[in-house]
Amino acid sequence: MKVDIFGIHYSVTDYARASDEILSHAQRHNSFAVSALAVHGLIESYRNPELRGKVEKIDLIVPDGQPIRWAMNYFHNLHLTDRVYGPTLTLHVLEKANQIGLKVFLYGSKSTTLEGLSTFILNKFPRLEIVGIHPDRFRDATRDEDAEDIKKINASHAHLVLVGRGCPRQEVWVSDHLGKINSAMLAVGAAFDFHAGVAPQAPEWMQRHGLEWLFRLFCEPQRLWKRYLVTNSFFIFLFFKKMLGIKV
């Protein structure tokens, strides 16, 4: 079941169901795209029709942020008790993949982050096999480079491709590679930095009350102040507009 939040169709799911669905496709080497989409990605998609079209092609969009969950509950009379947070979903998926010894490919982020993430995964999930690592170019790949990336990933026989390119670049990547990459592709961004130990996570109480953005803003004010000022304010504007019955 999916519900519309400002033009993006989120799956009504939880960690258990989402991870089971991902593993089902991963084991069969189905080309399957996943995004943990928070407020920033939602608002970027709302404001950019081309991006929205790509995001809407993604098979499984989970409510990463508490405000997304609140909106889903309010406008669709749901009773979701928790969000499906990308870094936590990643752990659920890897834990289940570890039980059956699946293969994982890491795509995106910096080399140092990928090294830390690889160490974390192999220490925590020893039955997993990391079959490839590809740092981000921090630009769009050329046609030849992209073809080589696809060939490299498919040749690795990876069941899971974790994609950490930042939102919305990672959503565009998994969308554009549907039908090309024979794996379940997870756009989980911040999971790379958090699990690699290069960025701190917000305290649990802040996450629970939808204040993770404030913690991240405090940690990286110069990079994030504009993003949160604009996207959070616009989300609140759309929420109240829809609540008043005005078309958004």
For 21, the enclosing helix (H) or strand (E) is helix 15-27
Q: Could you read off the pLDDT of 38-79 as tens digits, one per residue?
A: 999 999 999 999 999 999 999 999 999 899 999 999 999 999
Phi, then psi, of 187 in degrees rounded to 5: -85, 100
Token pair for 112: 């140092």
Q: How far is CA 73 from CA 4, 13, 18, 93, in A?
A: 11, 12, 18, 25
Single-letter residue type at 92: H
pTM of the model: 0.93
**Model pLDDT for residues 137-161, shown as the tens digit of each residue:** 999 999 999 999 999 999 999 999 9
Name the pairing type of β-strands 103-108 and 129-134.
parallel
Q: What is the rounded (10 degree) CA torsion for 93, 94, 100, 102?
A: 110
